[in-house]
C-alpha cells in the first residue's frame, strides 16, 4: 500500500513552483484517479480527479457537479462570500445561460474571424517593436501585449489604459505568489474574486468604462454589459472575469508555446518547413501549456465516480493539466508534436456549458502570433531562466528574458 505521502499535495502552491509536477499526476492517474487530497492549510479537502474521461464526466453533468454551490475555486467560502463574487463561471443553468447570452454572439467563429486582419496587424507591430530591442522580456513585450491589445478593442477599453488592466490582473491572479501577494487569509477580502483587494481596482475600472458607455454607447462588450440591466455586483464580476480570462490565459499559452519551440528544435524546424501546421501547432501549444490547471465543482448529491463514493457537498477538483497528458487519450502525451491529430485537449474545458467563451479568439491570437514570429528572419534564445508564477491554479510565466538572433 502506498503511504499517504506517496502522493503529491495538490493544494500546495510550491509543488508547482519549479515546474508542473507531471510525473506526480501520472502516478495519480495510474494509482488513484479519484484521490482524496487533504488540505493541510485548513481547507476541508477535495477529490482530485485526474483522468481525462472522469474530468469529462464531471463537467458534462452540472446536475450532479455544481459550479454554483461552492464556486469554482478551491477556497472554502461562506455562502455570502460565494454569492458576492459569483460570476458567470460560478453559476449553473439557467442563470449561466442568461449571462452568457449577453456576449455569446461576439465570440462565435464567424464573429471572431472578422478580427483576423486586425489581430495580424497588432501582432506585426508588437513583434517588430520588441525585436528592435534585441534583448527583452518576451512576456511583457509580446505575449501579454498581443492578447491585451486585441481584447481592449473588443471589450472597449482605451489602448492607453491596457497596461493598467494587465498590472491589476497580475496582482489578482498572483494571489498566491509573494511577488504580488495581496490575498489575505483574514476575512476582509473573501467577498472579492481571488480574495484579493486588487479586485476593487478592477471593479472601479469597469464601473468607469461602463458609465462612459451608458452616456455614449459604442459597438463593444462594455456597452452591452452597461445596457444589460445587471446589478452593480454582476457588472463588477463580469468585468473581472472577461478582463482576466480574455488576457492572462492566452498570454501564458503564447509564452509556453515559444518555450516549447525553443526546447524542441526539431518541432520548430518542422513547423518552419510546413506553415500549414500552424493550426495543429496552436492546438498542441494549448494542450502543452494548459494555462488553467484545474477547476472545482461541488457535488450536489451523493454520487459515484470510478467506483468512489463522493458525498453531497464534497469538493471535486478536476485537473485539466493531467487530463491533457492522459495516456488513455493521447498517444505519447509527453511528446510535443506540432502536427498532433486528433488533439481533443481540454484546455478550453472538457465540454459542458462552461466551455471557454473565448476559445476561437484565443486560437486566432496564438496562431497569428506564431505565424508572424516564424515569418521573420530573426528568432530567439533564452537570455535567462523563465520565472514561473507560484500557483496551483494558473500555469503562469511572469518573465522570460530572450535575445534576438539572426537566422
Cite the beta strand spans of 210-320 per DSSP E: 294-299, 303-305, 308-310, 315-319
Q: Binder to another protein among 360, 367, 390, 398 (CB under 8 A)?
A: 360
Q: Is 108 in the site for another protein (CB under 8 A)?
A: yes
Question: What letters, b where the CB count within 10 A reaches 16 and e where it falls short, cover 211-243?
Answer: ebbeeeeeebbbbbbbebebeeebbbbbbbbbb
User: Minimum distance between the CB of residue 356 and another protein, rounded to whole angstroms?
Assistant: 9
Sole binder of another protein in the list 6, 30, 208, 355 (CB under 8 A): 355
| Position 344 contacts another protein (CB under 8 A) | yes
CB of 333 to another protein, least distance (A): 18
Minimum CB–partner distance for residue 365 and another protein (Å): 16
Contact partners, residue 364, CB within 8 Å, separation at least 6: 112, 113, 115, 116, 119
Q: Does 111 bind another protein (CB under 8 A)?
A: yes
Rg for the chain, CA atoms, rounded: 21
Point out which span in 33-41, 121-129, 245-253, 341-349 binds another protein (CB under 8 A): 341-349
Interactions with another protein, residue window 43-72 (CB under 8 A): 60
Minimum CB distance to another protein smaller for 111 or for 200: 111
Identify residues 67-106 at the interface with another protein (CB under 8 A). Answer: 100, 104-105
CA atoms within 13 Å, Cβ hemisphere of 192: 21
Stretch that binds another protein, among 73-81, 164-172, 235-243, 348-356 (CB under 8 A): 348-356
Least distance (Å) between residue 277 CB and another protein: 16
The reply on whether position 349 binds another protein by CB under 8 A is: yes
Q: 15 or 353, CB closer to another protein?
A: 353
The nearest distance, CB 81 to another protein, in angstroms, is: 29
353 binding another protein? (CB under 8 A):
yes
359 is a contact residue toward another protein (CB under 8 A): yes
Taking the complex as a whole, the smallest distance from the CB of residue 107 to another protein amounts, in Å, to 9
Burial of residue 391, with CB atoms counted within 10 A of its CB: 0-12 exposed, 13-18 middle, 19 or more buried? middle
Cβ proximity to another protein, 100 vs 163, nearer residue: 100
Size of the site for another protein (CB under 8 A): 18
CA distances from 388 to 20, 247, 263, 291, 296 (A): 10, 17, 16, 12, 23
Q: Compare residues 162 and 287 and give the one whose CB is closer to another protein.
A: 287
For residue 196, give every residue at least 6 positions away whose Cβ sits within 8 Å of its Cβ, in sequence order, or none.
171, 172, 175, 182, 183, 189
- The three-class DSSP label of residue 219 is coil
Listed ranges 137-145, 247-255, 297-305, 342-350: which one lies at the site for another protein (CB under 8 A): 342-350
Q: DSSP letter at 140?
A: I
DSSP string, 296-362: EEEESS-EEETTEEE-TT-EEEEEHHHHTT-TTTSSSTTS--TT-SS----TT-SSSTTS-TTHHHH
- Ramachandran category for residue 398: left, alpha or beta (phi over 0 → left; psi -120 to 50 → alpha): alpha
User: At its nearest, how many Å lie between another protein and the CB of residue 108?
Assistant: 4
214 binds another protein (CB under 8 A): no
Please tell me whether residue 5 adopts helix, strand or coil conformation.
helix
253 three-class SS: helix
CB-nearer residue toward another protein: 41 or 97: 97
Q: Which residues bind another protein (CB under 8 A)?
A: 60, 100, 104-105, 108-111, 342, 344, 348-349, 351-353, 355, 359-360
Amino acid at each position: 500500500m502506498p503511504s499517504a505521502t506517496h502522493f503529491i499535495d495538490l493544494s500546495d502552491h510550491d509543488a508547482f513552483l519549479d515546474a508542473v509536477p507531471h510525473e506526480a499526476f501520472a502516478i495519480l492517474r495510474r494509482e488513484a484517479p479519484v484521490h482524496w487530497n487533504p488540505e493541510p492549510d485548513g481547507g476541508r479537502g477535495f477529490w482530485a480527479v485526474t483522468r481525462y474521461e472522469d474530468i469529462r464526466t464531471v463537467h458534462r453533468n452540472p446536475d450532479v457537479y455544481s459550479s454554483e454551490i461552492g464556486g469554482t475555486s478551491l477556497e472554502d467560502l461562506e455562502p455570502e462570500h460565494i454569492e458576492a463574487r459569483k460570476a458567470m463561471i460560478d453559476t449553473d443553468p439557467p442563470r449561466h445561460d442568461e449571462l452568457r447570452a449577453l456576449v455569446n454572439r461576439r465570440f462565435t467563429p464567424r464573429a471572431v474571424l472578422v478580427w483576423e486582419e486586425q489581430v495580424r496587424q497588432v501582432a506585426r507591430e508588437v513583434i517588430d517593436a520588441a525585436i528592435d530591442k534585441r534583448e527583452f522580456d518576451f512576456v511583457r513585450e509580446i505575449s501579454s501585449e498581443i492578447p491585451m491589445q486585441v481584447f481592449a478593442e473588443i471589450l472597449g477599453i482605451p489602448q492607453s489604459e491596457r497596461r493598467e488592466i494587465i498590472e491589476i490582473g497580475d496582482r489578482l491572479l498572483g494571489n498566491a505568489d509573494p511577488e504580488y501577494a495581496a490575498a489575505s487569509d483574514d476575512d476582509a477580502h473573501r467577498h472579492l474574486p481571488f480574495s484579493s483587494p486588487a479586485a476593487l481596482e478592477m471593479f472601479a475600472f469597469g464601473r468607469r468604462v461602463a458609465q462612459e458607455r451608458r452616456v455614449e454607447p459604442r459597438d463593444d462588450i462594455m456597452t452591452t454589459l452597461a445596457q444589460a440591466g445587471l446589478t452593480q455586483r454582476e457588472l463588477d464580476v463580469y468585468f473581472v472575469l472577461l478582463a482576466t480570462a480574455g488576457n492572462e490565459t492566452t498570454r501564458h499559452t503564447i509564452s509556453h508555446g515559444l518555450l516549447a519551440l525553443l526546447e524542441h528544435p526539431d518541432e520548430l524546424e518542422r513547423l518552419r518547413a510546413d506553415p500549414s501546421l500552424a493550426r495543429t501547432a496552436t492546438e498542441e501549444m494549448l494542450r502543452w501549456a494548459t494555462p488553467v490547471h484545474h477547476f472545482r465543482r461541488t457535488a450536489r448529491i451523493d454520487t459515484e465516480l470510478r467506483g468512489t463514493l463522493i458525498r453531497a457537498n464534497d469538493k471535486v477538483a478536476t485537473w485539466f493539466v493531467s487530463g491533457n497528458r492522459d495516456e488513455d487519450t493521447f498517444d505519447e502525451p509527453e511528446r510535443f508534436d506540432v502536427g498532433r491529430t486528433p488533439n481533443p485537449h481540454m484546455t478550453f474545458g472538457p465540454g459542458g456549458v462552461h466551455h471557454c467563451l473565448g476559445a476561437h479568439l484565443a486560437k486566432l491570437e496564438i496562431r497569428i502570433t506564431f505565424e508572424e514570429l516564424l515569418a521573420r528572419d530573426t528568432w530567439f534564445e533564452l537570455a535567462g531562466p523563465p520565472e514561473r508564477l507560484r500557483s496551483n491554479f494558473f500555469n503562469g510565466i511572469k518573465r522570460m528574458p530572450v535575445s534576438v538572433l539572426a537566422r
